[in-house]
Amino acid sequence: MKKNENSQTQNQGVFSRATKTRKKAEYKPTATRTSNRAKSPKIEKEKVFREKKQTDKKYGDTIFKKNSKDNLKIIPIGGIEEIGKNMTVFEYGDDIVIIDCGVAFPEDEMLGIDLVIPDFTYLEKNKQRIRGMVITHGHEDHIGSIPYFLKQINVPIYATKLTAGLITNKLDEHKLTNSTRLKVVNQGQTISLGKMKIEFITSNHSIPDAVALAIHTPVRNSYTYWRF
């Protein structure tokens, strides 16, 4: 008898859940109710979110289209997870802009090595697309490799006055002064290199005349480069 009671209770439980599901499935909101729902702030918010997601996807596809020349590439040649050797490449379409060209100093185990310079292989292969080199400030880890780079690839260099002066010392030492196109840029100035625009932003650092850079590209964003 007890067994039966138990099974009845269990059955009732199953039955009541099933009814609930069926009731839910049968429920159809009236026309008036639907229009009210559409006006509710929560629904509107969801709609806006959905539209934004679609727009982001559209732009995302534009930015990351595989092998497209419309992609912006940011390639660190040096200076990532290391001290010194700062050098970054911004590449868009047929234009390459190089930012900084520094040295690193040898580690204890690098016996007989005086300076460590970045690997210029990628830039040598694409040298016809380089529109210029932009320098943020005059520390060795940002300008130290310039003479070694210029001996392989001659590109115009843009820097503020003090930085340009420090670079000139190096060019004199390596007898590169006459062959180098070194251009002085003021803080606050913007220059165009190919399809990219580089804005020199006044900045504080342990050396005067340092700049951060705003790099404006035809893709949606501008990038701020600030690396000391």
Closest to Zn ion by CB, 160 vs 217, is: 160
Least Cβ distance, residue 209 to Zn ion (angstroms): 12
Shortest spacing between CB 158 and Zn ion, in angstroms: 17
The angle that helices 41-64 and 31-39 make with each other, rounded to 10 degrees, is: 60
Question: Cβ of residue 217: shortest distance to Zn ion, in angstroms?
Answer: 25
Nearer to Zn ion, 196 or 213 (CB): 213
Closer residue to Zn ion, CB minimum distance, 139 or 170:
139
Helix, strand, coil percentages, rounded to 5, for the chain:
40, 25, 40
Q: Which is nearer to Zn ion, 185 or 210 (CB)?
A: 210
> What is the C-alpha to C-alpha distance for residues 222 and 216, in angstroms, rounded to an integer?
4
Pick 144 or 194: Cβ nearer Zn ion: 144
In Å, how far from its chain's centre is CA 163? 25
User: CB-wise, 148 or 226, nearer to Zn ion?
Assistant: 226
Q: Which residues bind Zn ion (CB under 5 A)?
A: 139, 228
Q: How far is the CB of 211 from Zn ion (least distance, A)?
A: 11
Residue written as tokens 């003021």? 186
Q: Which residues contact 11 (CB under 8 A, 6 or more apart)?
A: none
Min CB(138)–Zn ion separation in Å: 8
Residue type, 77: I
Nearest residue relative to Zn ion (C-beta): 139
Smallest separation (angstroms) from Zn ion to the CB of 140: 9
- Residue 93, classed as helix, strand or coil, is coil
- 3-state secondary structure string across 41-86: HHHHHHHHHHHHHHHHHHHHHHHHCCCCCCCEEEEEEECCCCCCCC
